[in-house]
Amino acid sequence: ACALGRPPPSRAAVRCHAAGACFSAHRANSSYAEARSACGRQRGGLAWVSGEPELRLLLGLLAEAAAGPAPSLFWVGLKRNASACTHAEQPFRGFSWEGAGGARLEVPAALGRWAKEPERSCLTARCAGLYLAAASPGGGPSWGWKE
C-alpha cells in the first residue's frame, strides 16, 4: 500500500483522503524492500496512517484490492529498527512509521490492533504489514498489524 501526494497515472486502485493524501493498493508477492521501491517509482512511499479516518480509508481500499475471502498481508511503512526494542505496552509495540520524517506520532489506541503479537527483540530490524482476514459479521474486514 502506497501513500502518494497525488493520484498515480497507473490503473492501480486508488483512494484519496479529504486532506489530500492518496493511497494506492498493489497486489504482488514481494518483500518489504521491493514494495518500498515500487511506491518510490510512483513518487510515493509505503502507506502510513495517523488516525482512524485514514485507517478506514486504507482498509476499504485494501479490502477491495484483496478481492476474495483469503487472508492478505499488505506492506505498509511500519518498521522497527535494529536498535529499537519491542514494547508490549505501546500500541505499535516499538514500531514506527517509516517516512513520517522521524516524527513520533501519537498513536490512537484504536490503531494498536495486532493480528499476531510481534516477536520480542532488540536485535533485528523488523517490518509489519496490514493483515486482512475475511469480512467480519458487521461487514467490514477483520484486520490487524502483523510482523
Domain with residue 19: its CATH number is 3.10.100
Regarding pTM above 0.95, the answer is no
Give pLDDT, residue 105: 56
Question: Is residue 9 assigned to a domain?
Answer: no
Find where cell 478481492 sits.
67
H-helix or E-strand spanning residue 33: helix 32-41
Residue 79, pLDDT score: 92
Cell of 19: 486532506
Q: Which helix (H) or strand (E) holds 96?
A: strand 96-97
Is 21 inside any structural domain? Answer: yes
Mean pLDDT of 67-75: 80
**Is residue 112 one of the residues assigned to a domain?**
yes
Nearest to 20 by CA among 37, 3, 36: 3
Tell me: the pLDDT tens digits for 113-143?
A: 999 999 888 888 999 999 988 665 565 568 9
Residue 6 placed within a domain: no
**What is the tally of structural domains in the chain?**
1
Q: Do the beta carbons of residue 63 and residue 141 sit within 8 Å? A: yes
Nearest to 145 by CA among 65, 31, 49: 49
pLDDT of residue 16: 83
Q: Which three cell numbers stand for residue 67?
A: 478481492
Q: Report percent pLDDT > 70 for the chain.
A: 78
Domain housing 84: 14-146
**Residue 42 pLDDT > 90, yes or no?**
no
More confident position, 37 or 69? 37
Lowest mean pLDDT among 12-16, 18-22, 55-59, 135-139: 135-139
Would residue 7 count as lying in a domain? Answer: no
Question: Does any domain span residue 77?
Answer: yes
* pLDDT of the residue at 136: 58
Note whether residue 140 is domain-resident.
Answer: yes
**Contact between 72 and 66 (Cβ < 8 Å):** yes
Q: C-alpha angle with apex 140: 130 to 42, nearest 5 degrees?
A: 40
Structural contact between residues 36 and 68, judged by C-beta atoms closer than 8 angstroms: no
Q: Is residue 2 part of a domain?
A: no
pLDDT of 104 reads 52
- Euclidean distance between CA atoms 108 and 119, whole angstroms: 22
